Amino acid sequence: MEGLAIVVAFALILVGYIAISAVLRRIPAPSLRLPTGPIPDTWPGIVERNVPLARRLSSEERERLLRLVQIFLATNTSKDPVGSPLPKR
């Protein structure tokens, strides 16, 4: 009897996961506007050295990666991991 309860619980979880996944896939993701400003000259070399998979990217994909890095740095560098503001240099 206990085994049957486990199977039923697993089946309910699986059906719930599939249903929620189907609903979430229908929600459109907001479009991401990439920055158009200049990319610093040193960034491609830094990415090349520190992101091994970047070497396999096409030039368009590498450009997108660098634009995404711009967004990341613009939104995530004003605070340290604990959450307090970083000191100004």
Q: Where are the chain's structural domains?
A: 2-76
- The full DSSP string for 18-68 is HHHHHHHHHSPPPPP----SPPPTTHHHHHHHH-GGGGGS-HHHHHHHHHH
Percentage above 70 pLDDT, the chain: 85
pLDDT of residue 62: 93
Separation CA 15–CA 13 (nearest Å)? 6
- Please say if the pLDDT value at position 21 is more than 80: yes
- Is the model more confident about 89 or about 54? 54
Higher pLDDT, residue 75 or 58: 58
- Is pLDDT above 80 for 10? yes
Highest mean pLDDT among 15-19, 27-31, 35-39: 15-19
User: Average pLDDT for residues 27-49, to the nearest whole number?
Assistant: 89
Angstrom distance (rounded) from CA 47 to CA 54: 7
